[in-house]
Amino acid sequence: MTERAPAPDVRVGSTTDGLTPISSASRQLGATWHQWVSLILVAVAALCADQLTKAIVTTRLDLGDEVHVIGPFSIHHVTNSGIAFGLFARATPIVILLTSIAVAWMLYFFARSGSRHPVLPVALGLVIGGSVSNLIDRVRLGHVTDFIDLKYWPAFNLADSFIVVGVAALLLALIAADRKWSDQRALLSRPHGQSPRL
């Protein structure tokens, strides 16, 4: 009389084959086509908005002219050949190279992790759109046009604002995603039948 093979250990929450524990299940994190479309739309909108506002400023105001709006806020037509706060002002080729590398890395990151958090297309779209818009100016003109002047802060443009907002949203999204995965790992590593502490 032969012995029967033991029945497979099927657990609730396992992968679709019913055999692989969920802790070893893989999840596809690459960007889907509609996430690529979302990223491209946000990036193009950011680029167009920045280029439009710069065109309005350069056609309405001479370099150095300033129009007071309210409180410390004014529209002040200035140029910047460097990056934030005028850094690398005399190294435009280096700035162009670094910006190109950063944009390429962001696209690669999105291709690999686009499904990690729903806010990634918007966050990276803002950063890429702003970065490419400023990059176009540096390649075409050798400088970028800044016009938002708050008196107590160096003048900046919409592209700079998009980059800051996008980076902040990206950091918050990544922190939230890491916390979510940490909570799931902690739940999976808890002994079977043990309820979470209150």
Q: What is the pLDDT of residue 175?
A: 82
Q: What is the pLDDT of residue 166?
A: 94
> In this structure, what are the phi and psi dihedrals at residue 66, rounded to the nearest 5 degrees?
-140, 140
Which amino acid makes up residue 108?
Answer: Y
Question: Token digits for 10?
Answer: 């099927």
Helices marked H in 61-91: none
Q: What is the mean pLDDT of the chain?
A: 80
pLDDT band at 193 (very low <50, low <70, confident <90, very high): low
Exactly one of 9, 146, 178, 183 is catalytic; name it.
Answer: 146
SS3 150: coil
Question: Token digits for 49?
Answer: 């908005």
Q: Is the pLDDT of residue 91 over 50?
A: yes
Closest CA to 130 of 50, 185, 192: 50
Question: Can you say whether residue 139 is alpha, beta or left, with left for phi > 0 and alpha for psi between -120 and 50 degrees?
Answer: alpha
> In this structure, what are the phi and psi dihedrals at residue 104, rounded to the nearest 5 degrees?
-60, -40
Task: Verify whether residue 160 is a known catalytic residue.
Answer: yes
Q: How do residues 127-137 score in pLDDT, each as one tens digit?
A: 999 999 999 99
Exactly one of 50, 137, 149, 160 is catalytic; name it.
Answer: 160
For the chain, what are the domain ranges?
32-179
pLDDT band at 7 (very low <50, low <70, confident <90, very high): low
pLDDT band at 174 (very low <50, low <70, confident <90, very high): confident
